Amino acid sequence: MIETGLKDRVVIVTGASGGIGKATARRFADEGCFVASWDVREGEAERGGVFQKVDVTGADSVEAALHELTSARKVPYVLVNNAGILRDALLIKYKDGAVAGTLSDEQFDAVLSVNLKGVFTCTRAVAPHMIAGGGGVILNASSVVGIYGNFGQTNYVASKAGVIGMTRVWARELGRHKIRVNAVAPGYIATEMTAGMPEKILATLRDHTPLGRMGQPEDVANAYVWLASDAASFISGTVLGVDGGAVPGT
């Protein structure tokens, strides 16, 4: 087994109540890390860790959870900004010669608030503790659609493309403090979000993935752990695709 250098490290995983977030929290726990699982929904702590109810869009909520950790001498070494939501809609739905619907302000703002501002809010709060502690790793959830775009996802794509931009800025700004910053761009992953989709749509997603299957949450969790590990000690400012070769819309 490859030595990751993560044993006893403190790891924060946002959006950790289910799906990729839960798999990621569990995977870091398997490496012997103390994992703080953050989510706005109810959840469970991983072995030896803690669950904290946190709204990543609220600075006060984030700071309170972080204060609770640092007061117990749990200084974060890894932050996984995984929390995200969907509110899909066409920019303009046009039918029978008239506008039948649009992407609403609420749909746009809600997705940008969680997927983009939430990443900013958590990183701004955690980074000073990493600096004081001598370094760390920040890992941000982007998406394959943040690179290629996708039909009906103006808000989601904007948020995930923005995450890539922030990742590259922070890699430059924080590198001098021995903090590495990278993004992971998952493709089509089998989670609670996809569980209710019709089989016809799931088949289409598989058809758009050259490896011929949906990804599993553990596939993404493994990427996060590798990027956080000593094996990736000279990797910063990159976007790692975990997508089975998928290109949306092809």
Question: Is residue 94 among the annotated active site residues?
Answer: no
Residue from 94, 148, 156, 224 carrying the catalytic annotation = 156
Q: Tell me how far apart the alpha carbons of residues 164 and 166 are, in angstroms, rounded to a whole number.
A: 6
Q: What would the two tokens of residue 88 be?
A: 């899909």
Element (H, E) at 140: strand 136-141
Rounded alpha-carbon distances, angstroms, from residue 99 to 43, 88, 103, 187: 41, 17, 11, 32
Residue 76 to residue 241: CA distance in whole angstroms: 25
Buried b (16+ CB within 10 A) or exposed e, 14-34: bbbbebbbbbbbbbbbebebb
Contact 244, 209 (CB under 8 A): yes
Instruction: Please name the helix (run of DSSP H) or strand (run of DSSP E) that holds residue 168, with its range, or none.
Output: helix 154-174
Catalytic residue ranges: 156
